[in-house]
Structure 1
Amino acid sequence: MSLEANNTYMHCPHRDEIGGLFLAIVMSIEMTVGLPGNAIALWIFCFRMKLWKPHTLFLLNLVLADFLLIISVPFRIDTHLRNEDWVFGPVWCRINHFMLTVNRSASIAFMTVVALHRYFKVVHPHSCIKRMTTTQAGWLTGLIWISVTSLSIPLLTTNLLRKHNNISLCRSFSAYKEVPPSIMLHYMAFILEFLLPWVLLLYCSVRIAYVLRQRRMDKQKKVRRAIVAVRVISLVFTICFMPGVITGLGAMYIKEFRPTDCTTYTGFTQAFKVCLAFLYLSSTLDPVIYCFSSSMFRDILKSSICHLCFAKKSFRSVSSLSIND
């Protein structure tokens, strides 16, 4: 489909966007914090991690998913600064949305797998999950990547670029009069891949706390860390992904049952765009998950910081001695 010069594909007329500068600033801050945090995490996993376990492999893949976001977000920042005008062409529009969607899906999947792995280790210590090998975990991560990539393929096969007046809008969530089947599949995946893992995470969090209190184990340090790890994952998951799902569902409801209420519909779509800032926040908060979910990662990070501080003190001491001499 070629670029359209009018709004015939929309059931409500397009209005000038609000919050473009706000989103650009927020995403820039998230990038500034998230990039070094994830770079340090990748360095630890690749060069300092000596003993590999299934959960550390899952966390490594969460880091890799975040780098898909880090690569993609600068183009969204540029677009927001241009008042939603996409200047990188239709092909990169599809690829950009594809990478953003794969990041979201993979992040959700690996957060859920890490929490479930903790759940089975604590609540069902004799299950086969506890005896999972690193090789089996590798096969599982491969299956996850294949699944999330397959679900995002519709974004590569659908034209997402639309012309409005003098600007090009690059969106996967547009006000289509008739939603294409491929985009409808994308909508369904967007909602279900949040709701199902969210319910699982809440169940794991409550169930772990309940079982450990029954066993009178909730005071043990190692066990408390497992509880905190699942709760941190649940909190990050809720903060980052729930606002976008709620506003997206609101927009879909208005379109379906009140199609002429363009004012309310536009309000929901604008809110949805602002909530995308929370989605990108996940890459900034994921290093917190690594610290709470892996004692090895936490110990290596502490050791690296101590070595760095010691090196700085040694350098200052040598410099001062040289000056005195």
Structure 2
Amino acid sequence: MCNITLRENGSAPEIKNTAYAVVFGSVMVVGLPLNAMSLWILLRRHSLKSPSAVFMVNLAMSDLLLVISLPMRVYFYATCTWPLGSMACIWITMLFRNNIRSSSIFITFISMDRLLAVVYPLRSRHLRTSSNAWRAVVLIWVFVVVMNIPESVYFSRFLENNTVTTCFEFQHDPKCPIAHFQPVLVFTLLAVNIVCTALVSWTLRRHLNESAKINNKVNVMLIFAMNLLMFTVFFLPVSLAVVLKNRRHYLTPLLCLASVNCCLDPLLYYFSFDGFWKRQEDVDSSLARE
């Protein structure tokens, strides 16, 4: 737990808190320009008529929401104080937690869209429309925000019984049903991504000798490889840690690790297009020919 007593009585907690501040600060410095530039490119060069572009724009927005929550985390771990009160603490914590949930859902929808584009390019055209993508996006954000309500209530009760120096040290009781929501969500979405990866890999190998460009196939598989990396390295460990006992000493390092995902998402945008600066309609036509 981050508090003044620990900083005064021992150097190890102080070093840990400094390391947390450095990690969150580095993610903020790298993630902000990368995601701002990615969002600008997506909006400027890729029509929002494409479902993939719609999902990626919202993924970039999710990452930017994470980034804007990081300055106060840096201040908290650098000073072990929280000057803004419990309500601000709750809002900033929810922004951080929402990134894992919204990012994992958007990444899964990107995988499913690529699956339809590669495996069922003609039959899926009536499904892969911008209107359907926007409907899905609205439902995703509503779902994520609604899940904040019970968590915020539980968090406010936690802060009532603790000092403000525990702001970002909030941990669910493993017996609380709310604590199991995120692990179940991440496991389910990971399973969907694994199935999508297997089906796309099998389809591309089956058509390996056809005239489609091999670079396109490599890029497609890189998308799925990065999606699985996001889940197994950034989303899954911290989601499991929430429901485990004796998690106090490794939950914050895992949160630091999870925050790094917003710096790698721009690579997903790059590999999702056959050339980041091309229009998405050209990419979909290329995939359809495969």
Q: TM-score range by the shorter chain?
A: 0.7 to 0.9
Q: Mapping of 1:79-98 within 5 angstroms? A: 79-83=76-80, 85-98=81-94
Instruction: Tell me what 2:253 maps to.
Output: 274
Q: CA deviation at 1:22?
A: 0.8
Instruction: Tell me what 1:206 maps to.
Output: 198
Instruction: Tell me what 1:60 maps to.
Output: 57
Residues 1:37 and 1:175: Cα distance change in structure 2 (over 3 Å): closer
Instruction: Tell me what 1:31 maps to.
Output: 28
**Distance in structure 1 (CA, Å) of the matches to 2:255 and 2:275:** 32
Q: Which letter does structure 2 place at the counterpart of 1:187?
A: A
Task: Give 2:138's match in structure 1, choosing from 133, 136, 142.
Answer: 142
**Distance in structure 1 (CA, Å) of the matches to 2:225 and 2:151:** 33
**Distance in structure 2 (CA, Å) of the matches to 1:188 and 1:222:** 39
Q: Which letter does structure 2 place at the counterpart of 1:56?
A: A
Describe the superposition over 1:253-293 as per-residue Cα deviations: whole angstroms up to 9, x where unpaired: xxxxxxxxxxxx2xx32111111011110111111111011
Instruction: Tell me what 1:243 maps to.
Output: 237
Residues matched between the structures, number: 264
Instruction: Tell me what 1:4 maps to.
Output: none
1:113 aligns with 2:109: yes
1:71 aligns with 2:43: no
Which of these two proteins has the greater Rg computed from alpha carbons? 1
Higher helix share: 2
**Distance in structure 1 (CA, Å) of the matches to 2:14 and 2:160:** 15
Task: Give 2:224's match in structure 1, choosing from 216, 226, 230.
Answer: 230
1:20 aligns with 2:17: yes
Residues 1:113 and 1:149: Cα distance change in structure 2 (over 3 Å): same
**Distance in structure 2 (CA, Å) of the matches to 1:282 and 1:66:** 8
Q: Which letter does structure 2 place at the counterpart of 1:200?
A: V
**Distance in structure 1 (CA, Å) of the matches to 2:26 and 2:91:** 23
**Distance in structure 1 (CA, Å) of the matches to 2:14 and 2:178:** 23
After TM superposition, the score normalised by the length of structure 1 is 0.73
Instruction: Tell me what 2:182 maps to.
Output: 190
Q: Which letter does structure 1 place at the counterpart of 2:230?
A: V
Instruction: Tell me what 1:155 maps to.
Output: 151
**Distance in structure 2 (CA, Å) of the matches to 1:237 and 1:279:** 10
**Distance in structure 2 (CA, Å) of the matches to 1:71 and 1:51:** 24
Describe the superposition over 1:52-105 as per-residue Cα deviations: whole angstroms up to 9, x where unpaired: 31100100000111111011111111111123x332201111111121122221
Describe the superposition over 1:220-269 as per-residue Cα deviations: whole angstroms up to 9, x where unpaired: 33233212211112112322112213433432xxxxxxxxxxxxx2xx32
Identity %: 25
After TM superposition, the score normalised by the length of structure 2 is 0.81
Query: Is the contact between residue 162 and residue 170 of structure 1 (CA under 8 Å) also seen in structure 2?
Result: no
Deviates more, 1:196-205 or 1:30-39: 196-205
**Distance in structure 2 (CA, Å) of the matches to 1:298 and 1:221:** 16
Q: Mapping of 1:115-134 within 5 angstroms? A: 115-128=111-124, 131-134=127-130
**Distance in structure 1 (CA, Å) of the matches to 2:133 and 2:36:** 23
Q: Point out where structure 1 has 5 or more consecutive residues left out of the alignment.
A: 1-15, 252-264, 301-325
Query: Is the contact between residue 18 and residue 270 of structure 1 (CA under 8 Å) also seen in structure 2?
Result: no
Q: Point out where structure 2 has 5 or more consecutive residues left out of the alignment.
A: 1-12, 280-290
Task: Give 2:171's match in structure 1, choosing from 161, 169, 174.
Answer: 174
Describe the superposition over 1:181-215 as per-residue Cα deviations: whole angstroms up to 9, x where unpaired: xxx34312221121111111122212221232233
Instruction: Tell me what 1:8 maps to.
Output: none
Query: Is the contact between residue 183 and residue 240 of structure 2 (CA under 8 Å) also seen in structure 1?
Result: no
1:43 aligns with 2:40: yes
CA RMSD in angstroms comes to: 2.6
